Amino acid sequence: MNLKFRLTSLSFLQFFVWGIWLISLGGYMFATFNNPLDPELGSKVGNTYGTMGWASLFMPALMGILADKYLRAEVVLGLCHILGGAALYYASTVTNSGDMYWAIFMVSCFYMPTIALSNSVTYSILSKNNLDVQKAFAPIRVWGTIGLIVAEWAVDLLGWTENSNQFYFAAVAGVCTGLYCFTLPRVEVAKNIEKKSLATRMGLDAFKLFKTPMMAKFFLFALFLGAALQITNMFGFPFLKDFGANPEYADSFAVKRTNILISLSQISETIFILAIPFFLKKFGIKKVMLISLVAWVLRFALFGIGDPGGGLYLLILSMIVYGMAFDFFNISGSLFVDREAKPEIRASAQGLFMLMTNGLGAILGGLFAGKVVDIFTNAEGVKDWPNIWFSFAAYALVIGIAFMFMFKYKHKPEEMTSVAH
């Protein structure tokens, strides 16, 4: 079988497993664990999504050490997927939000390391076969996003978004992905590998960058913006489903095919990745980051004013600007770190950037977003979604204004000769 096809299949399956439950988990929890009414369920949903942040703080580093020193990387990757599948099966059996928190925490502990491990396995196999990694990786990775989209569509069309079948499906897909990993070409444990401490692997060595005011500001902004990254994953689905309580919208596309509508966000993300080199060369790093922050304001505000009827186009616009919001900060931020960190701590600095956004930022976002949803939920369990989204938009606006005036960084766009994704 063609090597690139095998690695493309790995990328597809890697994100297919995640896409089955990532978007619909919040809606499932509101549909399943809200009888009797739970006035704190918004916070519980946010905290459950926040487990992905907690797992991201330490599990990728631990699994990376295991893959570097003791077991072949494709074996560790396969075991993580199989154990994650077992945790997903357990998630299908839980009957309360407290147990779901621990179920998703277990899922995250095994799944989050697989993102970096699958990349590492792909890089190693491509290099071993004398293929150009930079040229070959992007077409392979884009199939990961396609896998995520296909999973969202499949769960929606099968009618499993608000029942436990999605976890059974994800469990089977996870185990199958794990078994597939065992068939990949061997990635031998490296010999005479440079010894790195756990602190180095987690990016903690890069905390010395906080001594530089500009870098300290950047990482703090990364933390606060990281809190926004998962908000629509947490509450986008239940927000759109709640329109079904209004007879005018009960049979609308946004209510009946919620996951498919939300998948436009991932499609937009794929398209805007291709536009980043142009924007960086045209505007430079700081302005691209500012564009991202403006896009986050629009992402939330358009949700606040949109509806499945005459306002459907506003919801679609929100999905489109998500790609700009998500990609522009993540990639321009990573590029900024790469340019400003010294070579000897560059890898640690990238680890710190990921820790701030996907680790601590995700935890902060879960706590903040869940509390906001609870505040705007009345005694009957009805949520004031416009004010919820406007609160998130105001949060992004404050961050954007502060970033514009406090983050002093001069970058000449003409210096951008190439951008690696």
Q: Give a three-class secondary structure readout of 21-70.
A: HCCCHHHHHHHHCCCCCCCCHHHHHHHHHHHHHHHHHHHHHHHHHHHHHC
Residues with Cβ within 8 Å of 287's Cβ and at least 6 positions away in sequence, in order, are none
pLDDT at site 349? 77
Ranges of the chain with pLDDT below 50: 417-421
- Please tell me the distance from the alpha carbon of residue 372 to that of residue 384, in angstroms, as a whole number: 10
Partners of 383 in beta bridges: 377
First to last CA, the chain: 27
pLDDT at site 191? 66
pLDDT at site 202? 60
Residue linked to tokens 């990961």:
144
pTM of the predicted protein model: 0.89
Residues with Cβ within 8 Å of 315's Cβ and at least 6 positions away in sequence, in order, are 240, 254, 261, 302, 303, 306, 307, 308
Are the beta carbons of 142 and 270 closer than 8 angstroms? Answer: yes
Q: In 3D, which of 50, 58, 53, 63 has the Cα closest to residue 118?
A: 63
pLDDT at site 421? 42
- Distances from the Cα of 246 to the Cα of 49, 242, 250, 252, 256, angstroms: 28, 8, 6, 10, 13
Partners of 377 in beta bridges: 383
Q: For the segment 117-137, what is each residue's pLDDT rounded down to a tens digit?
A: 998 899 889 888 888 877 888
What is the CATH number assigned to the segment(s) 203-421? 1.20.1250.20
Is CATH 1.20.1250.20 correct for 1-189? yes
Residues with Cβ within 8 Å of 41's Cβ and at least 6 positions away in sequence, in order, are 29, 30, 33, 34, 97, 374
Burial class, 317, CB count within 10 angstroms (exposed 0-12 / middle 13-18 / buried 19+):
middle
pLDDT at site 414? 57
Residue 411 CB: number of other CB atoms within 10 A?
A: 19
pLDDT at site 417? 47
Q: Could you tell me the residue ranges of all domains in the chain?
A: 1-189, 203-421
Domains 1-189 and 203-421 share a fold: yes
Q: Which residues of 203-230 are buried (b: 16+ CB within 10 A; e: fewer)?
A: bbbbbebeeeeebebbbbbbbbbbbbbb
Across the chain, which distance is largest between two alpha carbons, in Å?
Answer: 67
> Could you tell me the two tokens for 386?
């416009």
Instruction: Please give the DSSP secondary-structure letter assigned to residue 413.
Output: G
3-state secondary structure 214-253: HHHHHHHHHHHHHHHHCHHHHHHHHHHHHHHHCCCCCCCH
Residue linked to tokens 């896998």:
147
